[in-house]
Chains A and B, each alone.
Chain A
């Protein structure tokens, strides 16, 4: 079964850092575009970052420099490192297959809450 499972969300203080992970099953992350998409409470979908090919990455302009996407092919896992978090980063973070293609497989999401 093709599946994505995210972990790593939680409550973090402003200025803190967090690492989200996403384990894939039924396909390889190395052979696909892989992305993170987030959704703030009550808001729409916002693309965050995509990784593909020989570690080519793209980021939303507003997040460049604070967020870093990576993948571990040996663990079939995608990660998102987030630094200097603010309240505006509070959201459900989804891992998704796609980016260069449409997003055809989504995880269930992991909740990140930035608050003191």
Chain B
């Protein structure tokens, strides 16, 4: 099973700052890495698929990068609605796995 590690579990920012979130895989998952956003009481929402492709309607301030085992989600100029939990997920191998999540909170 491929383990995805997201650390730290919580990051604090002021609105307008840039957030950089990390996801590390226990083996190569390129290019099959996705990022999701989840707000309290809501279903997750797909932000990025295949490392760097934004899903339909996702603002350009969200970007993904990385390769092999190390991946990054960058949120430029955080908006109030961006404070949420973010998960990475791999579909390179079965079983599919998610990272433990990073909560982006307001400082």
Contact = CB atoms under 8 A, between A and B. Distances in A.
Interface of A: 35, 37, 44-47, 50, 58-61, 94, 98-104, 106-109
B93 to A, nearest CB: 10
A61 to B, nearest CB: 6
Given A35-B96, A47-B97, 11 more contacts: A45-B38, A47-B98, A59-B95, A98-B91, A99-B96, A100-B91, A101-B49, A101-B91, A102-B34, A102-B46, A106-B45
Contact of B94 (A37, A58, A103, A108): A58
> By DSSP majority rule, is chain A's interface helix, strand, loop, or mixed?
loop
> Nearest 9 CB-CB pairs, A to B?
A102-B49, A106-B43, A102-B34, A47-B96, A45-B98, A44-B101, A104-B46, A58-B94, A44-B100
> By DSSP majority rule, is chain B's interface helix, strand, loop, or mixed?
loop
Contacts of A103: 34, 36, 44, 46, 89
Contacts, number: 57
7 contacts: A44-B100, A45-B101, A58-B96, A59-B95, A61-B95, A104-B49, A107-B43
Contacts of A37: 44
A32 B91 CA distance: 15
A35 B44 CA distance: 14
B75 to A, nearest CB: 18
